[in-house]
Amino acid sequence: MFTNEERQKQRTGKYGTSREQYLQELVTEFQKTPNEESKEQIVAHLANFAYDPYNYNFFRKLNVLDLFLDCITESNEKLVEFGAAGICNCCADPANAAVIVKNGGISLMISCLSSPVQNTVLSAIAALYYLCIPSTKAGLFHSTFLSIMSFMFGNHHQFSSRGFLSLLVGSLQL
């Protein structure tokens, strides 16, 4: 459920932790912990917060979008999966999309298309759909992206959402 300031105050109570403080604690814990499983859980938790517009200003202020993008570069497939999900969940917001594009998110999401993890691929497709705006089209027509999409359409990839892929490719032809 989406939240707002009033609802957040009711949920937090007089002495509770604010959403911004809670998100900051998650980011700090992610940065400090050497435990990969803990990092996975933290990024998954942050990705779940990424769907709610109430959190978007906090995400930009706390550099959570950069944390998601950094996770995509990791060798740990769970961190990649949850990082891609976080980007996917919040990239429809224009301000978030601008940060993601500015920080190399398009090429990182394109790299997720070749992941062996179907959730990562789905997150990448959805994110690229929302990131496809006139100023980013050139990056999406990059030969690597087109090769991966062609491979996915060619029945060589076990992918069940071909209709969504059609929407994405259709949006590229704007």
Q: What is the pLDDT of residues 66-124, one digit of tens each?
A: 999 999 999 999 999 999 999 999 999 999 999 999 999 998 998 998 899 999 999 99
Dmax (CA) of the chain: 57
Considering the chain, what percentage of its residues have pLDDT values greater than 90?
Answer: 59
Mean pLDDT of 149-170: 52
Nearest 5°: the CA angle 42, 44, 49 is 95
Residue 152 has pLDDT above 70, yes or no: no
Q: pLDDT at position 161, please?
A: 46
Q: pLDDT at position 136, please?
A: 60
Mean pLDDT score across all residues of the chain: 81
Alpha carbon distance 124, 127 (integer Å): 5
Alpha carbon distance 17, 98 (integer Å): 29
Alpha carbon distance 20, 23 (integer Å): 5
Residue 125 has pLDDT above 60, yes or no: yes
